[in-house]
Structures are given as C-alpha cells and as structure tokens.
Amino acid sequence: MKARLVTPLVAIALALSGCSAVATNGSNAAALARGAAVKALDGGKLASLPTGPVYIRMIRFAQPAGYVIHSKQHVPSIVYVETGVHRLVLEGQPPVDLAAGQAKFHQSVTHTHLNPGPDPSVWYSIALWPSSAHGQALVDRIATAAFESDDIAREGLPQVAYSQVLRQVTLAKLGTTGAHRFGGISAYYVLTGSVTIKSAHRPPVTLGVGQGADFLPEIALQETNAGPGQAVFLEFLTTAVGRDFEVPLQQPPAA
C-alpha cells in the first residue's frame, strides 16, 4: 500500500517505525493491489504502552449541534470525523476544527469535544487501552462502543516507544490491497460497503459497515472489496519503534 497524503505528524510516526520494503518483480499477480487508494490521516508517538494486557477500542459519538463534552485525561487517542464538523480543544492549545474524513492524534490531556453545528456530527475516539478499562462507563451518554478487540498480551510487545497511525483505505468495486504484513498491531473498521480480510493460518473474515477486526504483528494480510460498490475502511496501526511499519509480500496469505 502507498499513502497518498502524509501530514507532518504521520511522517514522524512512520519515521519512528522502520521503513517498508519494496515489492519485487517476482510477485504473484494475485498479491498485487488494484483499485485501492490509501490515505494517511494522522498519527503520533506513544512513549510507552499501558501496563499489562491491552485492547483496542473505537468509541462512536453521535453529537448534536451545540453539544459539548468535557473530557479528562485518558490514553492518547485519535479523533476521526465521519460526518459533520468537530471542534477539538486541547488544554493550553488553540481549537482544532475537523471536517468529515479528517483526524487528529492527541496525547493524554484534558480536552473538550464540541459540535459547532449546524448539523449533527458523527465521530470516533480510537485508542489502545489497558484491559483494566473494560467495563468502565463511557465518557458521555451519546457514546457507544463501536468496536473492541480481544485482550492483547504484552509478552510479544516490546517495552519501547510506539507510533500510532490512522489510515483510510478506499477500494473500488472488485478492488484489493496488495498482500502485506504490518510490523505492529492492526485494527480495521468498515465505514462503507463490505471488506473481506484474508490472513495467514486462519479463515477469511468479512466485515460490514460498523464492524471491525484486529490482528497481531507480522501476520500476512490482504483486504478485498466484498460488495457490489465502493468500500471504505479505517486502519489503526500501533507499531514499536524500530519495527517495519508495513512490508509488501510476493504471495497472497495462505489460510
């Protein structure tokens, strides 16, 4: 996959991880991308992961115009706006206005979420949480848990700094990404259409709108449009410093 838009924060996040390898001419044609567009939205750095097992949580907010959420410090996260507009105010910083399709990484600081209107807004808070947060009440009554991964053991995750990046992938009808593997934890969430994710040593999984999946590092993957029209999904990637961010593969994943 090739990112078409890289903001300064995303460039920093990718630099924290290793560079991706370049596909060779010996690739199987079925492993090559077609009809796929990848856009890096935003990213940043985690000094360390939470203590103990962790999990990925994507929280969906359906926020009316004029509605305000005051939030205390929590884990670093990425705000992604699906529809409408969103104003993020981080303590001590100027407000950041986000339109549909935009995202913003922020560290653990007190902050405010505001819908300046005039229409309702749908947005997500996407983060890696300590497993101890399971079952805790969400920050506001308009929030729902859109996707939560299983617990991820820390044994395979080194005690180093990490980068986090959020990307948006668009697949045309019959489109597919290239076969690849990520050096870190990956999580998917479908916004439009349906997507089949092929991975090594397990059956393919097909996700519809509002569904997600996650994978451990270094697993061969390939995503294919499973529906009759365009498909759009998010990729949330958490990668240890020094690990390859993404490596293209010459063969499709073998179940």
15-49 pLDDT, tens digit per residue, is: 545 544 444 456 799 999 999 999 999 999 999 99
Beta-carbon contacts of 29 under 8 Å, excluding residues fewer than 6 positions away, are none
For residue 174, pLDDT beyond 50: yes
> In which band, very low, low, confident or very high, does the pLDDT at 140 lie, cut at 50, 70 and 90?
confident
Based on the domain organization, do 167 and 215 belong to the same domain?
yes
Give the separation between CA 205 and CA 196, rounded to whole angstroms: 6
At 13 the pLDDT is: 55
At 139 the pLDDT is: 81
> In which band, very low, low, confident or very high, does the pLDDT at 77 lie, cut at 50, 70 and 90?
very high
For residue 154, pLDDT beyond 90: no
Question: Of 148, 171, 204, which one is at a domain's C-terminal end?
Answer: 148
- Is 155 a domain residue? no
**Structural domains in the chain (count):** 2
Beta-carbon contacts of 124 under 8 Å, excluding residues fewer than 6 positions away, are 58, 59, 60, 61, 79, 80, 82, 146, 189
Based on the domain organization, do 130 and 171 belong to the same domain?
no
At 2 the pLDDT is: 34
At 16 the pLDDT is: 47
> In which band, very low, low, confident or very high, does the pLDDT at 11 lie, cut at 50, 70 and 90?
low
- Is 255 a domain residue? no
For residue 216, pLDDT beyond 60: yes
At 23 the pLDDT is: 47
Secondary structure (3-state) at 47: coil
- Is 154 a domain residue? no
Based on the domain organization, do 186 and 230 belong to the same domain?
yes
Secondary structure (3-state) at 103: strand
Based on the domain organization, do 144 and 174 belong to the same domain?
no
Give the separation between CA 131 and CA 150, rounded to whole angstroms: 9
- Is 1 a domain residue? no
Q: What percent of the chain stands above pLDDT 70?
A: 90
Q: Which domain holds residue 165?
A: 8-49+160-248
Span 227-249, average pLDDT: 97
Based on the domain organization, do 72 and 137 belong to the same domain?
yes
Question: Of 148, 182, 201, which one is at a domain's C-terminal end?
Answer: 148
- CATH number for the domain spanning 206: value is 2.60.120.10
At 10 the pLDDT is: 57
pTM attached to this predicted model: 0.91
- Is 67 a domain residue? yes
Beta-carbon contacts of 116 under 8 Å, excluding residues fewer than 6 positions away, are 65, 66, 85, 87, 97
Q: What percent of the chain stands above pLDDT 90?
A: 82
Based on the domain organization, do 38 and 63 belong to the same domain?
no
- Is 135 a domain residue? yes
For residue 181, pLDDT beyond 90: yes
- Is 3 a domain residue? no
At 7 the pLDDT is: 52
Based on the domain organization, do 94 and 35 belong to the same domain?
no
- Is 153 a domain residue? no
State the average pLDDT for the chain.
91
Span 209-238, average pLDDT: 97
At 165 the pLDDT is: 98
